[in-house]
Structures are given as structure tokens and as C-alpha cells.
Amino acid sequence: MGPVAPRGDLAGHLDPALGQGTDLRRDPRAQRRRAPARQRAHRHRKGHGVGEPVNVGVVGCGAISAQYFRTIERLPQVRLVAVADLDPDRAGEAVRPYPGTDVLGVAELMADPRIDVVLNLTVPAAHAEIALQAIAAGKDVYCEKPLAANVADAARVLRAAGEAGVRVGCAPDTVLGTGTQTARMAIDHGLIGRPVAATATMLTPGHERWHPNPDFYYAPGGGPLLDMGPYYVTCLVTLLGPVTRVVGASGRTRAKRTIGSGPRQGEEVPVKVDTHVTGVLVHESGALSTLVMSFDGVATRSPNIEVHGEKGSLVVPDPNHFDGAVLASVLGEEGWRELPVSAGYVEAGRGVGLADLASAGSGAEPRAGGSLAFHVLDVMESLLDAARSGTAVTLASTCERPLPVPLRPLAGELDR
């Protein structure tokens, strides 16, 4: 059998700067610098004293909201002021541990002059609509992932935010934790040489086993790629830079899923999306990432993410978590060794990206920023298009690699 690619072909397309040494930036484009601390938004909001926290209003008080409320309590940059949900009882119940938090209607929350940032924790189908309402009210918005149910809606959100001069942030912020950031530091310092490839595997039997309202996971905007892919693709872009082209294939095993817990246990949910998605992402650097995202398997022993370079390989921990061990195997050394934690927010939780947005100066892109989230959504939607059409799809979008996070405590100053 002949070579898979002509000799030297892959190396010829690799970014020569990628992973070549200490402090070398892999993305050749200039990074936008963050504003000095004195220009930071949370220090210069109208009606806020210097160093005062930014006021947050939360829309959507479902399963994930409790994690945010716990983190916000630990973060000096942000303060929970009010919540809203289509179901006001759910909102009230969610903030029972946080007395003094107002329960408002959605329109009331949007009009509330105290609120600087809307934290959008609604289901993916409502992300764009809520974000656009927040932007129209002149507020910054930080959204759970994905940024919107599709690229067209996400583009409307970013366009509206640009016109209104407000900032957009988006989950996942897990990549700001010590797991992904330690791996990034290792790559940036040349430990594995030039990165050539990565693999990313997420495989589970499906969230309907534990989520009481899993409908959205099987509706357009859901599926394993749009649900879990944001963690993996955001991590891959953080480690290897933006993506230029994708190929893919996908399928589904069942037309219905049965809810496994809660008041609707036993109820069937229709499956309207593919539930096993595979693909290859061609990074601008020339590195190739192979992706497997599935709600159709039972279990896997594949690492969540591996990155392979010319001089070594890394095992990167679960990008759905903030921490975890980074393992390295380097040419000339025996076996695998665990790398010391060297970068990222220590003991971080969901919401650290919101604090990063609150700390970014006006005009500065937050680390968990809208343009990164837009590119990640574009990668995923393009991969699904490629799977449907059976052809490679060239991406229209790109993004800058977000700034790295030096090692620091969660509540520490988010300055560089």
C-alpha cells in the first residue's frame, strides 16, 4: 500500500510556528490585547464604584443554573441580582438559597436598569432570542452553549451586539480551567513539538437516562455534536487554533428515546437529529483533528482528547471539566508522565467565563468570547453539512485563539 499522503505533504502544510518553543504564539495573527485593568467594564459601569461587581440577571433556571449560582457566589467580579424563567416557580425555587435575588418576568429583567449582563441559561432554541432581547436592552450577554441553534441566528446575535456596542460571551468556559490550560502551556512551550493531529471522543448512551426534560438534546440544535461538541471543538481550537475545512459522516440508531428519570420517566421523546457524528477538522495550522461524538454507544476507553506532535503525545482531560490530569509521552522517555498543573483557573466552576467577560475592557474580546463560540458553532454546523452532503466543507469563519490563562485562583484578579 502506498503512503496515505505524498511524502512531506502533511508537514508541508503544518504551521511552522506551531508548538515550536517557549512563548511562541501558534496563531500567526495578532491577538487583540486586553484593556488595562483601569478600563475594565466592572470598574467603570455607570452607577458602579471602582472595583464594584457587575450585576447579573439570569434567564433560564433549569438543571444547569445551580452550578452558575454557586460559582457567582465565589466570584468578586459578578453579583446575582435577579432571575427569570418561563416557569416563575422554577425560578423562585432555584434562588431559594440566595435570599435577596429578585424573581422577575423576562421582559421586566431585560428592562431592569440595575442589570449589566444577562446570563442566558435557556435551552439552545431560545439562546438567540434571549440574547437579542438583552442586546436590544443595551446589556452584555453571556450565553450557555451553543451560542445559538444555528450559524445564521448566531450571526444575528454578533451583528446586533456589534451595532449596540455590547459584548457577547459564551460557554464553555471549562477550557479556562487547569486541564486544558496546562495542556495548552505544554504545547506552547514545545513539549510535543509541532502538533500534527488530535483525536476527540465523546460517547454515551444518551442524556435521557438522567435529564428530566431531555427533549432538546434530540431536537434541531441538539444531538451529540451540538450538545457536547462545543467542549471538544473549543478545546481543540484553544490547543491547535482555528479550523479551515471539515469532512464528516453521521447516523442515528433509534427514532425515539425513553426518559429515564423524573416526573416524565417512561415518556418517549422523538429523535429528530443524528446521534452519532464523526469527522475530521483541518486546522489552519495543518493539524488534523478526528472527532467522534455519540449518544449511540455504551462506553469507551478512548481518552477524551489526545494531541500528537512530532516529538510527543498528550492526553488532555475531559473538556467538560475544568481540571484533570494532563499526561505526556515524549520521544526518548519511557511511558507516560503526569504534567504538573501549570496554567488555568484553579478549582474553577461554570461562570468563570462570565467573570472574564465582566473584567474585559470595552472592545476587548472575552476569553470565552462570541467570535470563538461562533467559529465553534460554524465548525459543528459545517461538519453536519459535510456529513449530509458527503463533501468537504470549507469554513467561512475563523477566530483568534483566546488568550491563555496563567495559573491563578478562581477569585484572583483576571488581569493578565
Which positions lie near ligand NAD, rule CB under 6 A?
A: 59-64, 84-87, 90, 106, 121-124, 126, 130, 144-145, 213, 227
Which DSSP letter does residue 29 get?
S
Q: Minimal distance in Å, beta carbon 119 to ligand NAD?
A: 11
**CA gap 319, 260 in Å, rounded:** 25
Q: Minimal distance in Å, beta carbon 383 to ligand NAD?
A: 18
Q: Minimal distance in Å, beta carbon 173 to ligand NAD?
A: 10
Q: Minimal distance in Å, beta carbon 269 to ligand NAD?
A: 12
CB atoms within 10 A of CB 324: 21
Nearer to ligand NAD, 60 or 177 (CB): 60
**CA gap 398, 285 in Å, rounded:** 12
Q: Minimal distance in Å, beta carbon 353 to ligand NAD?
A: 12
Q: Minimal distance in Å, beta carbon 61 to ligand NAD?
A: 5
* Sequence-separated (6 or more) residues with CB below 8 Å from residue 209: 260, 261
Q: Minimal distance in Å, beta carbon 67 to ligand NAD?
A: 8
**CA gap 168, 367 in Å, rounded:** 11
Strand partners, 117: 56, 140
For 330-354, letters b (16+ CB in 10 Å) and e give: beeeeeeeebebbbbbbebbbbbbb
Nearer to ligand NAD, 66 or 325 (CB): 66
Quick check: bond before 317 cis, omega within 30?
no
Nearer to ligand NAD, 88 or 406 (CB): 88
Using CB positions, name the residue nearest to ligand NAD: 62
Q: Which cell is 321 given?
A: 471539566
CB atoms within 10 A of CB 28: 12
Nearer to ligand NAD, 263 or 390 (CB): 263
Half-sphere exposure of 183 (CA within 13 A, CB side): 35
Q: Minimal distance in Å, beta carbon 84 to ligand NAD?
A: 6
Closest CA to 373 of 60, 145, 167: 145
SS3 43: helix
Closest CA to 59 of 157, 2, 141: 141
Closest CA to 41 of 78, 6, 16: 78
Nearer to ligand NAD, 58 or 399 (CB): 58
Q: Minimal distance in Å, beta carbon 239 to ligand NAD?
A: 21
Nearer to ligand NAD, 366 or 404 (CB): 366
Nearer to ligand NAD, 85 or 318 (CB): 85
Q: CA–CA distance from 168 to each of 18, 157, 343, 351, 365 (Å)? A: 28, 8, 24, 14, 8
Nearer to ligand NAD, 286 or 353 (CB): 353
Closest CA to 232 of 150, 185, 294, 310: 294
Nearer to ligand NAD, 145 or 308 (CB): 145
Nearer to ligand NAD, 126 or 387 (CB): 126
Q: Minimal distance in Å, beta carbon 416 to ligand NAD?
A: 28
The CA R_g of the chain, rounded to the nearest whole Å, is 21
